[in-house]
DNA sequence: CTTTTATGATACTAAATAGTATCACGTCAA
DNA sequence: TTGACGTGATACTATTTAGTATCATAAAAG
């Protein structure tokens, strides 16, 4: 059960946010993720570990490959925390939900 | 106009998130914020600068005091980014909005 | 005017972080 | 079996970050 801190920390790096966007479309092995970045596979692996610690991704092994997938519930701790600002961004929240539904059409 | 990265970074530190929670109730000077932490005023000042860079707070000067206030729109870049995960957390968003309205009663 | 108070700013230290290089290990294929 | 491939893990370096200490400046109070 990841702490809220580990989730916020995982989201704080642009490379890791890019990885999450990639995983939104399809699951990827470490090597496949690394192809999209100008850094070594080992560095990408570290980012994936941080994302896993933050509960934002899950991993499963298939033979010698490790497949990374987005964890739908991973964002929950962040959302729970943001709730503290309800009196300020409640209206915005409603607007966002409308935009999401519009995008899906 | 703060970049999304500076906002995510500002949120990634537990001390800074605590400061935001404090400012949710009332505006505070640097010294008043510092009273709540076991660290020097200079350290708190640095955190406030990061929060300001991230657009999460605004500051105004009153005499020799500098008053820090929560910026309602500061969280927008983060919310915009989270929109990318719409297909996963749309249902959760609706649930959260319900909880917020319930809490307000 | 003198003193106190709140802040701004700089220099410095320690720890965390992002990255590389390297090697070991298990799996798959010829 | 032999080797290539994908990964795990460690050691190392450079940068960023969180914090302190210190001093300068400006405003409020006497």
**Residue B41: which CATH number?**
1.10.10.10
Quickly give B68 CA vs D30 C1' distance in Å: 29
Residue B14 sits at the chain A interface (C-beta within 8 Å)? yes
Q: CB A21 to CB B84 under 8 A?
A: yes
- What lies within 8 Å, CB to CB, of A75 at 6+ separation is A7, A56, B82, B85, B88, B89, B92
Contacts of B85 in chain A (CB under 8 A): 20, 24, 70, 75
The confidence score (pLDDT) of residue A72 equals 82
What is the predicted pLDDT for the residue at B79? 84
Smallest CA–CA distance, residue A58 to chain B, in Å, is: 14
For residues A2 and B104, the model is more confident at A2
What pLDDT score was predicted for residue A42?
96
- Tell me how far CA of residue A96 lies from CA of A93, A99, B100, in angstroms: 5, 5, 15
Q: What is the pLDDT of residue B73?
A: 85
Q: Would you state the pLDDT for residue A1?
A: 58
Put simply, whether A23 touches B (Cβ < 8 Å) is no
The vertex-B89 CA angle with B88 and B90, nearest 5°, equals 105
Nearest CA in chain A to B14: A5
pLDDT value for A105: 47
Q: Which of A5, A37, A42 is nearest to A21 (CA)?
A: A37
d(CA A69, CA A28): 7
pLDDT per residue rounded down to tens, chain B (105 residues): 578 999 999 999 999 999 999 999 899 999 999 999 999 999 999 999 999 999 999 999 999 999 999 998 888 889 888 876 655 555 555 555 565 555 544
DSSP bridge partners of B61? B66
Contacts of A59 (CB under 8 A, 6+ apart): A48, A52, A66, A67, A68, A69
Whether B13 sits with its Cβ under 7 A from any strand D atom: the answer reads yes
Mean pLDDT within A2-24: 94
> Range of B63's domain?
4-104
* B43 has a chain A CB within 8 A of its CB: no
**What is the 3-state secondary structure of A27-80?**
CEEHHHHHHCCCCCHHHHHHHHHHHHHCCCEEEEEECCEEEEEECHHHHHHHHH
**Mean pLDDT confidence for A83-101:** 57
How many domains is chain B partitioned into structurally? 1
Q: How many residues does chain B have?
A: 105
Q: Pick A10 or B104 by higher pLDDT.
A: A10
pLDDT of residue A41 exceeding 50: yes
> What does the DSSP 8-state code read for residue B73?
G
Task: Quote the pLDDT of residue B90.
Answer: 54
The pLDDT value recorded for residue A11 is: 97
């Amino acid at each position: 059960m990841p702490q809220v801190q580990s989730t916020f920390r995982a989201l704080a790096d642009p490379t890791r946010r890019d990885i999450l966007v990639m995983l939104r479309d399809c699951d990827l092995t470490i090597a496949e993720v690394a192809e999209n970045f100008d850094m070594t596979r080992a560095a990408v692996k570290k980012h994936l570990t941080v994302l896993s610690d933050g509960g934002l991704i899950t991993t499963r092994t298939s033979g010698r490959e490790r497949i990374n997938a987005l964890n739908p519930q991973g964002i929950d701790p962040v959302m729970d925390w943001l709730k503290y600002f309800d009196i300020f961004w409640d209206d915005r929240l409603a607007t966002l939900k409308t935009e999401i539904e519009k995008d899906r059409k």
